[in-house]
Structure formats: C-alpha cells, structure tokens
Copies of this chain bind each other. A is one copy, B any other.
Amino acid sequence: MKPLLKISQIKLDEPSSSDKIADKERLINGISRQFSSLSHIEINLKTLHKLPSCLRKNNYSVRIVVSEIGNSIRIIDIVDDSNIYALAIDIGTTNIVGSLFDMNSCKRLCSLELENPQIALGLDVLTRVHFAMLGRSDELHKMLIKGLNDLIKRLSDFAGVNQSNIYAAVIAGNTIMSHFLLNLDVENIPIDPYIPVCNKFDFLLAADLRLTINPESVIYVYPNAGSYVGGDIISGILYSGLYTENLPSMLIDVGTNAEIVFGCKEWILVGAGAAGPALEGGISKIGMRAIEGAIYNLDIGDNCEVRYKTIASAEPKGICGSGMIELISEMFRKGIIDNQGRLQKICDKVVEINDKKAFIIFDSANMRLFISESDIENFLRSKAAMFASLFVITRSVGLHFKDINKIFVSGAFGKGIDAQKAKYIGMIPNIDQTKFIPLGNSSLKGAEMLLMDTDLFVDIEHICNIITYKEMNVEGEFMKEFPAALFIPHTNPQILND
C-alpha cells in the first residue's frame, strides 16, 4: 500500500568544503536514496523558502511531507511535527460528504455529510446548469467551495486537527459537480452531443481552488468518462472492484440520479437511468430526502394501518426513497393498489381528496401525509425506467439476469432499501439475495481507497479505458421495454427471473 501522503524523515550529509552541493539538490539526492525508481522530484517554492533554515536547525535531518504518485514525487512541506491529514470527499448533487484521515495511522478520524449549498439554486443539476448559463456560474462554484470549506472546518474542528496540516484531498463527483468545482463551463454538458470541458483533471493545488487546507495540498479529482459518467461512478467502480471481476457484475448507484454499471475486468457499460428523482423527493409531493422525519421503513397491517420508522424517530414529514419503495410494495401486497398502481377502495385509508383518490399514510392534528394516484404513477415511471435500464443494459451484451454474478448496491439503495421489496414490485430483477452486496457511499469509499493506495491510479486509468457509456432513453430497446415495466411487477413477470 502506497498512501497518497506520507512523512519521510530524511538524513542528509552536512555540506563541507568537499561537498558543496546546494540545499535543494542535497535534499533531492537524499530523497532519491530513500525512494526507489523515480523520475521526477518536485519541490514547491514555499518549501524552498523554508529549506535552508530547516536543514541547519535540524542538523540536516528533516521531516518532509511527500506525495508519491507513479514516478513523480512531490515535496509538499517541511515540518517539525508529524501531523499529516487528508480528505476524501464525495460531491453529490444533494449532499457533500467528507472523511478526514490521519495519514500516519491511515485511520479515518471522522466523516460528515452536509447539504450541497448549491441546493439554494435548484435541487437538481439541470436547474443549476440553467442558472450557470444565465451567468451565475461563478456563484455556483463559490457556493460549492464554501460548502467544502464548511465541511473541512467541521471535520477538522471535530477531530481537533489544524487545517493547514491537511495536505491532500481526493474528490469524486458527477461530471457537473466536478466542473462546478473547477469553475469550468457546464453549459455544453446537457446539450446534444453532451460535451464536458474535461474528462481527466490534472492534479491541482488547494490554492487553485481556494480550499482552506494547506495551500500546497495535492488535490486529485476523479476523472469523468463523459457527461453522464462522472468521477463518482468511476470511484464507485474502483471501490466495488467490479473492474477486477471475471464474471459480469452490476453496480447500481441510486442517489439523486440513478446509474447502472455492468461489466467485468474486460469491459464496462454505464447507463444512466431516470430513477433517481422519485426516490429523493423530486417528483412525488410527499417525497423528501433521507433527513430527520423521513419515513424510511414501513409495513401495512390488516386494517391498512401504516407502521413506520422515521429518521431520528421524529414526527413524520415525508417519505424518502427507501420508504417509497416499501410503501408501494406494501400497498401492492395488501391490494391497496392494483398492478397498474390504481388505488382500490378496500379500507377507510383510501379516500378522495379534491376529487382524487389518495391513501392516508399518517394523520395527526398537525399533519396529514397521503399519497395520490399521480404520485404512484410517477413512482412507477421511475421503477419502470430502472428495470428497463437494467434489462436493456444486460441484453445489450447478449446476457441475461441469471448471468449476473454480483450486484453491488450503493447510494440510497445500498443504505436503506430492502432489495426483497424492490424485487417484489419488479424494480430490480429477481436475483438471488446472496448476490446483492451493499456498498454504502461507494463514491466516497473509492475516494478514501485512493488516499490509501496510489497504485490504484493505474486501476482508474484501466477503468476509464474500458468504460463505455450506453445511452438509455434514446434507445429503441429501452422505449420498448419501458411500458411493460410500468406494471407491478411487470406484464411478463417471467422476465424478472430471466
């Protein structure tokens, strides 16, 4: 394991009348002896400013903060103590999540999730891109940086770490988030033929982005593989290990957007479905993000009474993605909806509100939470899109669901969703439960992995080389499969096993 950051104690020979080599070259020679087979050692100007006095004060034995990547060694700082920290960050459309690591012990000190402050300009990426096109691009960039700096401050405060001792960060995000991060123009991303400014980002310095960690910190931003395959997906693929699998495996990542990765060590397909929004509160009126008061787990009793659990056990305010899947699944199991999602008046919880049928989930003096037929319809579109995407991507390489060896599940799905219930409504195929491997936030974990082992840069390169984006919504195949999947579980349930 080669961590992205380490402390090296370098003992140099003292200069003498027969050894008059300059300080910098002396240090480089010392480093060359300690590190093997290297081609290039870079020392920043700030380190050069400190170098002569540090050498002489410490009898030519100095402690340096080093980042070794491939054949390139970067001296980031000369230090008195050995406190070095690094960040792994996942920039989601909705949340930014960070972990702070002690790079000496390679231990995670803490993690934190904050709302992406760009939400003030729109819940979904397209709204934000729209604002960027109206000239508010700088503002969106600054909002994101402010959010990251807020995250960094809270993580550092919590762990009692000096922010200037944070010397590296690995950041993963979708293509638009990565572009906002670097303040790159996003306006061509959502317009045919969907061209980002960059796929591969050069290493940056914290100072370039005005991140409030050591200004000379190495910042690595995960590459995109196109407008719809962001660094978060690449990072997730790395974490899952899908790219090392001999047999075809799948990675399903459902966050604000849903992405499906299918592949093995030789090929990888990525398809972006439209499933996301219904699971995170974008579409249905009662939907909300998985925050305090969101119903995330429920079942329905014999009298149609809903027994639910909410996040932080708070009074229910809405229903998050996983709760929504359970709700639809339970409503179908109890016969409250038919296989087209139409409400059946089988109990007094099915009511008419403004002349439209609805099912009451929760009713109190303060609040009445109900789901309407149009909410259900919207959800079914999402579940159909998800299934059709899974079907199309599997068949596109001539394979069947039964050929899938492992299903890695990350994002909201991975955290809270009961795969059994998702299968029950035909959202995902009927694959043996043992094949499901929950990953949690795979994008964040992929970023964390890279902090610990820079040999993985080669793996990322490999992933980018074998990955292909499969456009879903314009494929005839997808549109053919979609209508049948609008039924619960499907017009042809056999296909779920196929």
**Interface residues of A, Cβ cutoff 8 Å to B:** 15-17, 19-25, 42-43, 45, 48-49, 51-53, 56, 182-185, 187-188, 192-200, 202, 204, 208, 224, 226-227, 469
Interface contact A226-B194, CB-CB below 8 Å:
no
Interface contact A49-B193, CB-CB below 8 Å:
no
**Which residues of chain B are near A48, meaning CB under 8 Å?**
182, 184, 197-198
Q: Given the interface contacts A20-B193, A20-B194, A226-B20, does A184 sit within 8 Å of B25 by beta carbon?
A: no
Smallest beta-carbon distance A174→chain B, Å = 14
Instruction: Name the residue of chain B whose CB is nearest to the CB of A45.
Output: B208
Interface contact A195-B22, CB-CB below 8 Å:
yes
Cβ contact of A188, chosen from B24, B52, B182, B194, cutoff 8 A = B52
**Which residues of chain B are near A469, meaning CB under 8 Å?**
20
Q: Is the interface of A mostly helix, strand, loop or mixed?
A: loop
Interface contact A45-B204, CB-CB below 8 Å:
yes
What CA separation (Å) do A137 and B256 show in the bound complex? 54
Knowing that A19-B193, A22-B197 are A-B contacts, what are 10 other residue pairs whose CB atoms are under 8 Å apart, sorted by A's residue number? A20-B195, A22-B199, A22-B224, A25-B200, A45-B183, A49-B183, A49-B184, A51-B197, A52-B185, A53-B185
Copies per complex?
Answer: 2
**Which residues of chain B are near A193, meaning CB under 8 Å?**
15-17, 19-20
**Which residues of chain B are near A227, meaning CB under 8 Å?**
20
What CA separation (Å) do A48 and B199 show in the bound complex? 12
Instruction: Name the residue of chain B whose CB is nearest to the CB of A474.
Output: B17
Instruction: Name the residue of chain B whose CB is nearest to the CB of A471.
Output: B17
What CA separation (Å) do A49 and B195 show in the bound complex? 14
**Which residues of chain B are near A45, meaning CB under 8 Å?**
182-183, 204, 208
User: Of residues A21, A52, A183, A188, which shows the largest number of chain B Cβ atoms within 10 Å of its Cβ?
Assistant: A52
**Which residues of chain B are near A52, meaning CB under 8 Å?**
184-185, 187-188, 195, 197
Instruction: Name the residue of chain B whose CB is nearest to the CB of A14.
Output: B193
Instruction: List 21 interface pairs A-B (beta carbons < 8 Å), by A numbering.
Output: A15-B195, A16-B193, A19-B193, A20-B194, A20-B226, A22-B195, A22-B197, A22-B199, A23-B188, A23-B195, A23-B197, A24-B197, A25-B198, A25-B199, A25-B200, A45-B183, A48-B197, A48-B198, A51-B185, A52-B187, A53-B185
